[in-house]
Amino acid sequence: MDMPPKGVTVIGAANMDINGFSRDPLNMADSNPGRVEYCPGGVGRNIAENLLRLGAKVRLISVIGDDPGGQLIRSSSGVMGLDIEHSLFIPGLSSSVYMAILDSNGEMKLALSDMSALERMTEGHLESKADIIAGSGVVVLDTGLQAGMIRFILDRFGSSREPGPLFFLDPVSARKSAKVKGLTGRFHTLKLSRMEAAYLSGVAIPPPEDEGLYPALKQSLEDAASFFMGEGSSRVFITLGKGGIFFASGEKRFFTPVHYVKPVNTSGGGDSFMAGMIYGTLRGWEPEKIAAFSAAMGAITVRSGTTVSGEMSLSLVEETVKAFGKENRSNR
């Protein structure tokens, strides 16, 4: 199936990422030798860049200042051809910043985010983009937006069904999930971590174990998915980190294991997974193919030092899916 002409509008965060990589195991409350790198980031921006690298038509609506972080976002977007022209540009504003400390294994141990710039998004600005938003095939929201703004967007443009744009949600974190409590049924597709799913559904979901989907975990995932679909969502992807992916839609349920790769930087893995879900939806793929494709995107991303892999491409993802498939068959 060819890509639909309407494309994707992402409304969410664009920021400068500051990543600190520890050379050795971290010593808390102490100075640790390592290196510090800067790159463009933000959940919404990362999703949009990944989609662009796959060849999708995508635009990002965010809030961007004219500080060094904002200049980085603008210059990098210009180089790669990412459409940010419909964002709200505010002179004198400090752009959003995300700062992460990663251990010697590439795992994020502590992060601070300043998303106050995105709080400057206005209803008036989004109203001026009404034709663009309403004419999209998919609209993606992240919870860097204020709760009132999320509700406004859903009330003004939202739909969990066609023919309007299909709304996708990335709650970003369990803490920020509070902004969409009671609103999940307004989204066609949810991409949730285990903790986000537990918080939003009220279902206690135990952590995965090495052996995979054991009975208590399976039942809790079933219960959480049933809650979200009862609220009105059509599809739910619950990511379990190294434990795999659980999918539910209607009567269909399945679990997909993921391939472990040694991470360099785990930041951005979930954003690339979300982009894969959106891309597969635009292509009209079956959910099993979407899950495998999205998991491959996540694996490519965490092997990169930046929040979006500079090597990300449709051909690389397809090659990775095939390689993982061969490993599965050889391990049987």
- What's the pLDDT score for residue 326? 73
pTM over 0.75: yes
Give me the residue spans of the domains in the chain.
8-14+42-98+116-330
Sequence-ordered strand ranges (E) for the chain = 8-11, 15-22, 34-41, 58-61, 63-64, 88-89, 96-102, 108-114, 138-142, 166-170, 189-193, 235-239, 245-249, 252-256
- What's the pLDDT score for residue 328? 63
- What's the pLDDT score for residue 186? 95
Which CATH number is correct for 8-14+42-98+116-330, 1.10.3720.10, 3.40.1190.20, 3.40.50.1820, 3.40.50.720?
3.40.1190.20
Q: Which residues of the chain have pLDDT under 70?
A: 1-5, 159-162, 210-212, 327-332
Assigned token pair, 198 = 């537990």
Cβ atoms of 206 and 217 closer than 8 Å:
yes
Q: Is the peptide bond before 33 cis (omega within 30 degrees of 0)?
A: no
- What's the pLDDT score for residue 164? 81
- What's the pLDDT score for residue 213? 80
Burial class (CB in 10 A: 0-12, 13-18, 19+), 242: exposed
Separation between Cα atoms, residue 305 and residue 105, nearest integer Å: 12
